[in-house]
């Protein structure tokens, strides 16, 4: 196992944050890991900005699942790491992933998450997300899911759905084995929570996940997201 990562970032109109995200990955690129940005048809300068920092910038149909599948198809390395454009990885992410996979003998996992905002209620949200994920073995995209390329191909990647692609992927990976849970957190933007209201966002996300678990289609749920 060479332990090299292919970091795949789906984007859509992220020119205001993508530079900061990619600059922090330069150290990993220098160590031999690759960064692949997959744009879903941005109307701003995301594509041209990303091209200055990423190893590859691809165009794909809008939708995180489709974009991340395109990136995975193009990737060259042994481990895929799916990263949201507004999420920051810990400095030693490559060592953390390789150590966790080797020690636990697993093929996939995720990180604990920390939200960037300072509101006390966000600390509660973080703990709920991390606890639920460890208890259920299901990860969300904000938790920087990583998986061996061979295992990702074994389950045919992300499903062809417009929403809940991360939960669906986790469920299928969980049939193989439970994830390794890395306690060192990734830091993801709390902008969605703060703009829409923390309580309102909690209720929305719970409602969507409950509906999904009860069999409501991702196509229907995407209208309310």
Q: What is the pTM of this model?
A: 0.93
CA end-to-end span of the chain: 39
The tens digit of pLDDT for each residue in 14-36 reads 999 999 999 999 999 999 999 99
Q: To the nearest whole number, what is the mean pLDDT of the chain? A: 92
Q: Is the pLDDT of residue 5 over 70?
A: yes
Domain boundaries, the chain: 5-190
* Top-level class of domain 5-190: alpha beta
The tens digit of pLDDT for each residue in 87-146 reads 999 989 999 999 999 987 899 999 999 999 999 999 999 999 999 999 999 999 999 999
Question: Is 106:180 a contact under the CB 8 Å cutoff?
Answer: yes
């Amino acid at each position: 196992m060479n332990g090299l990562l292919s970091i795949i970032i789906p984007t859509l109109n992220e020119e205001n944050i993508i530079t900061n995200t990619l600059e922090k990955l330069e150290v990993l690129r220098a160590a031999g890991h690759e960064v692949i940005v997959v744009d879903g048809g941005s109307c701003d300068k995301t594509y041209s900005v990303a091209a200055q920092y990423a190893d590859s910038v691809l165009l794909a149909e809008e939708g995180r699942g489709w974009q991340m599948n395109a990136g995975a198809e193009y990737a060259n390395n042994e481990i895929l790491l799916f990263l949201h454009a507004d999420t920051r990885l810990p400095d030693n992410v490559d060592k953390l992933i390789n150590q966790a996979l080797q020690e636990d003998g697993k093929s996939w996992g995720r990180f604990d998450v920390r939200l960037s905002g300072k509101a006390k209620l966000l600390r509660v949200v973080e703990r709920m997300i991390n606890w639920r994920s460890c208890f259920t073995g299901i990860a969300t995209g904000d938790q920087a899911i990583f998986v061996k390329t061979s295992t990702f191909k074994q389950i045919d990647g992300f499903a062809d759905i417009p929403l809940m692609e991360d939960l669906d992927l986790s469920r299928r990976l969980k049939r193989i084995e439970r994830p390794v849970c890395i306690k060192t957190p990734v830091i993801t933007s709390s902008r969605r929570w703060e703009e829409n209201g923390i309580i309102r966002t909690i209720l929305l996300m719970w409602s969507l996940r409950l509906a999904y678990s009860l069999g409501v289609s991702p196509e229907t749920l995407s209208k309310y997201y």
